């Protein structure tokens, strides 16, 4: 029997409705709309596409988003000064630094400078520490999107085997901690993991964030598992592919997110959700 499709677009609509209400409440409480500052270094075309999508989603939710664009050759003190100005700006509740930064700008500058109360994409040292220690924390929005899909689809976590494929700072590692803190038994795998299928076949919940199209096939999935495909690879023809071979996986899994139309639908909404939380801090 084919798996249930975890439809990111349908879930996103429900989340958007909830956030609309929260944004109205925040505006009434603050006397202004919640504010998100999006900071970008340079004019990379892919970043521009991402920013315009985020601006549209912000408008739909009722959050006032502004873009701050720094020159390609901004130096580390210039980047720090920009973030510090946004930290001090009372109309800014959340700050999103678009990553990756150019090689001459260490990401650590952002991780150390951004005010943890405005760190709505969970990249500061404080956010990472809070997550590790299971204190309330902002988390990377992609990982929040995965949990939102699992929760809204009533997929049970306590005591179940969760396997995360990918161990990056922005997706794999924080996601593994979030699943652990929801009482799943968690395995993290990565590019050096031998016999990946041995691990993935044990997963009741399989979350894949490797950036390798087709990495996970149906034969690597435990029958009935919930499969969350975080991967996004843009093919030369512009089509988007996930990390899971959907055609074979859908025959084995119990539930599965498509790509496109899955996790990616929720990521920006989670950033805005955390921005609305930031208005209360």
Nearest distance from residue 267's CB to ligand NAD, in Å? 4
CA-closest candidate to residue 227, choices 2, 14, 16, 10? 2
Residue number, 12 or 210, with CB nearest to ligand NAD:
210
Binding mask 197-236 for ligand NAD (x = CB under 6 A): ------------xxxx--x--------------xxxx---
Asked whether the CA dihedral 129, 133, 136, 141 is positive or negative, the reply is: positive
Residues 174-193 binding ligand NAD (CB under 6 A) are 189-191, 193
Find the shortest distance in angstroms from Cβ 31 to ligand NAD.
Answer: 33
> CA triplet 185, 197, 250: central angle to 5 degrees?
90
Rounded CA-CA distance 74/53 in Å is 25
Asked if 165 is part of the footprint of ligand NAD (rule: CB under 6 A), the reply reads yes
Sign (positive or negative) of CA dihedral 96, 101, 105, 109:
positive
Among positions 91-120, residues that touch ligand NAD (CB under 6 A) are: none
Q: What angle do CA 107, 126, 88 make, to 5 degrees?
A: 80
3-class DSSP assignment, residue 41? strand
Closest to ligand NAD by CB, 51 vs 189, is: 189
Complex with ligand NAD: residue 143 or 279, whichever CB lies closer: 143
Q: Which parts of 57-96 interact with ligand NAD (CB under 6 A)?
A: none
How many other CB atoms are found less than 10 A from the CB of residue 87?
17
Q: Which residues make up the interface to ligand NAD (CB under 6 A)?
A: 142, 165-168, 170-172, 189-191, 193, 196, 209-212, 215, 230-233, 263-264, 267
């Amino acid at each position: 029997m084919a798996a249930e499709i975890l439809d990111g677009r349908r879930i996103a609509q429900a989340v958007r409705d909830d956030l609309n209400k929260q944004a109205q409440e925040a505006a009434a409480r603050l006397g202004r709309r919640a504010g998100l500052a999006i900071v970008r270094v340079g004019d990379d075309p892919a970043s521009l596409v991402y920013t315009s999508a985020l601006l549209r989603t912000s408008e739909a939710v009722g959050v006032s988003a502004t873009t701050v664009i720094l020159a390609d050759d901004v130096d580390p003190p210039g980047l720090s000064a920009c973030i510090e100005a946004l930290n001090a700006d009372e109309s800014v509740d959340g700050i999103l630094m678009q990553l990756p930064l150019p090689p001459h700008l260490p990401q650590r500058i952002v991780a150390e400078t951004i005010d943890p109360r405005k760190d709505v994409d969970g990249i500061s040292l404080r956010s990472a520490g809070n997550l590790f220690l299971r204190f309330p924390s902002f988390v990377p929005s992609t990982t929040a999107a995965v949990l939102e899909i699992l929760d809204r689809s009533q997929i049970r976590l306590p005591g179940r085997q969760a396997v995360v494929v990918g161990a990056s700072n922005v997706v794999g590692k924080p996601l593994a901690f979030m699943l652990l803190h929801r009482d799943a038994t968690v395995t993290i795998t990565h590019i050096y993991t031998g016999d990946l299928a041995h691990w993935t076949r044990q997963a009741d919940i399989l979350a894949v964030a490797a950036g390798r199209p087709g990495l996970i096939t149906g034969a690597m999935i435990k029958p009935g598992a919930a499969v969350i495909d975080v991967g996004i690879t843009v093919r030369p023809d512009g089509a988007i592919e996930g990390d899971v071979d959907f055609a074979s996986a859908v025959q084995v899994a119990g539930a599965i997110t498509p790509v496109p139309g899955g996790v990616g639908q929720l990521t920006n909404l989670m950033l805005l959700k955390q921005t609305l939380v930031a208005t209360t801090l």
